[in-house]
Amino acid sequence: MTKKIASIIIGSIFLSIGVNIFLVPYHLLDGGVIGLGLIANYLTGVQAGLFIIFISIPIFTIAWVYKRAYFYNSMHGMLFSSFSIDFLSSTPFPYLTDEWLPPIASSIIGGILIGIGIGIMLRYQTSTGGTDLLAQLLATKINVNVGVLIFVVDAFVISLGGLLISFDAFLLSIVTILFVGIFTSLCTWKATYVDKNEL
C-alpha cells in the first residue's frame, strides 16, 4: 500500500510537470482524457484536471458496475493526477506561459515525463483511469488487444485537437504520444517480464 501511494504521488508529479511545463506553452496534447482536458483548457480556459474528473465520471461508473477492481486501482490515481495538473497550472511558474524551448524538444521532453509518470503508476497496479480504463473494460468484452484500443482513442483525441487547435499542434502531439508510449513501456517492461517468469 505504501508503494502504491508513493507511485501515485511521484507519478502524478512527473505527469503534471510534463503537461504544464512542456505541453501547455505550445498547446500540445497527450492522448486520452488528459488530451481532452487540454483541448477543453485551450478552447475555453476551464481547468484541465477538473474537466478530466468530470469526463471520467461515466467511465468510472461503468467500471464500478462491471469491473470493480479496475475502479479501485484507478480512482486514486485519476483524482491525484488531476489535482496535480491543476495545482501546478495555478502556480506562478514562468515557463507555464513562455515558449522557452523549441517546440519539438518540448514535445519530446513532455512525452518522456508523462510516460515516466504513467509508467510508475502502472508498475504498482494503479493508473490515471480515463480512456485507458475504458479500453481495459472494452478489451475484456470484445476480445481486442487493449493496446490497440488505447492507440485508437489517442489517435482520435489528437486528431480532434488538430482540427480544433492547429495542424502544427497535431504533428507535435504525435511525437509526444510516441514518447509517452515508449517511456511507459520502459517503466513497466521489467515488472511485466518478472511477473511472467514467476508464473
Residue 137: band (very low, low, confident or very high) from pLDDT cuts 50, 70, 90:
confident
**Tell me, what DSSP letter sits at residue 25?**
G
- pLDDT score of 56: 87
Q: Cell numbers for 112, please give them.
A: 518522456
Digit-coded pLDDT (tens) for 68-95: 777 877 888 888 999 999 998 877 666 6
Average pLDDT, the chain: 83
pLDDT of residue 197: 44
Query: Which of 71, 105, 81, 96 has its CA nearest to residue 33?
Result: 81
Longest distance between any two alpha carbons in the chain, whole Å: 50
Query: Which cell numbers hold the place of 167?
Result: 495542424
Q: Please state, in angstroms and rounded to a whole number, the distance separating the CA atoms of residues 170 and 156.
A: 11
List pLDDT tens digits, range 13-71: 999 999 998 999 889 999 889 999 999 999 999 999 999 999 888 888 888 888 777 78
* Residues 149 and 141 sit within 8 Å (Cβ to Cβ): no
What is this structure's pTM? 0.85
